[in-house]
């Protein structure tokens, strides 16, 4: 019971952190002069943490809650695109994480960013009813390489602080291999 309460509390803290990072990102992105649709992906740091240090369902829950937050703050289309990108990104990172070799944070993050953008382009194509959104794919793929690297570096920098939660990457890998 104690571990269930801890898991729920940690999930709530991570959701609050994801929302805070999303708000910070929304505030600083316009000052960076980025093209439309390009974001740093700071809230994805939290999803990556949940995916690799907690149970996958916590990461899925965070993606769904983030999409709901986007829905109520930015509208239905933005919420739908957030959900599409987030779920595909999480699926790709989850598959990579299960490889026999341990991928780096950079590989996981960049592949997650690429998948996130692909998911959003697919979602935009569905919303528009045409594949015209795919014209923007090259811009988003290049941005995913850069922003995925920023997200990986940010996660690496935050891991010592997050490590104080008494959960380590190695412990999680060992637990996954024993399941």
Predicted pLDDT of residue 166: 58
Residue 127: C-alpha distances to residues 7, 28, 61, 63, 132 (Å): 36, 28, 24, 20, 11
Cα dihedral 96, 98, 100, 103 sign: positive
Predicted pLDDT of residue 2: 61
pTM of the complete model: 0.84
The number of folded domains in the chain is 1
The confidence band for 167, taking pLDDT boundaries of 50, 70 and 90, is low
What range defines the domain where residue 35 resides?
2-178
- For 25-84, how does the pLDDT look when each residue is reduced to its tens digit (9 = 90+)? 888 888 888 887 788 888 888 888 888 888 888 899 999 999 999 999 999 999 999 999
CATH number at residue 170: 1.10.1760.20
41 closest CA partner among 89, 98, 92 = 89
The confidence band for 173, taking pLDDT boundaries of 50, 70 and 90, is very low
Predicted pLDDT of residue 154: 87
What is the number of other CB atoms lying within 10 angstroms of the CB of residue 40? 21
């Amino acid at each position: 019971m104690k571990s269930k309460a801890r898991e729920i509390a940690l999930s709530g803290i991570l959701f609050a952190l994801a929302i805070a990072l999303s708000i910070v990102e929304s505030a600083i992105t316009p000052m960076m002069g980025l093209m439309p649709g390009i974001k740093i992906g700071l809230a994805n740091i939290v999803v990556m943490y949940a995916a690799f240090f907690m149970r996958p369902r916590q990461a899925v829950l965070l993606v769904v809650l983030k999409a709901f937050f986007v829905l109520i703050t930015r509208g239905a289309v933005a919420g739908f695109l957030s959900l599409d990108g987030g779920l595909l990104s999480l699926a790709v990172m989850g598959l990579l994480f299960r490889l026999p070799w341990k991928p780096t944070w950079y590989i996981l993050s960049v592949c997650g960013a690429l998948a996130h953008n692909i998911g959003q382009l697919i979602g935009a194509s569905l919303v528009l009813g045409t594949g015209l959104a795919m014209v923007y794919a090259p811009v988003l793929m290049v941005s995913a390489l850069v922003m995925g690297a920023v997200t990986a570096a940010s996660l690496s920098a935050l891991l010592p602080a997050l490590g104080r939660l008494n959960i380590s990457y190695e412990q999680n890998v060992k637990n996954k291999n024993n399941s």
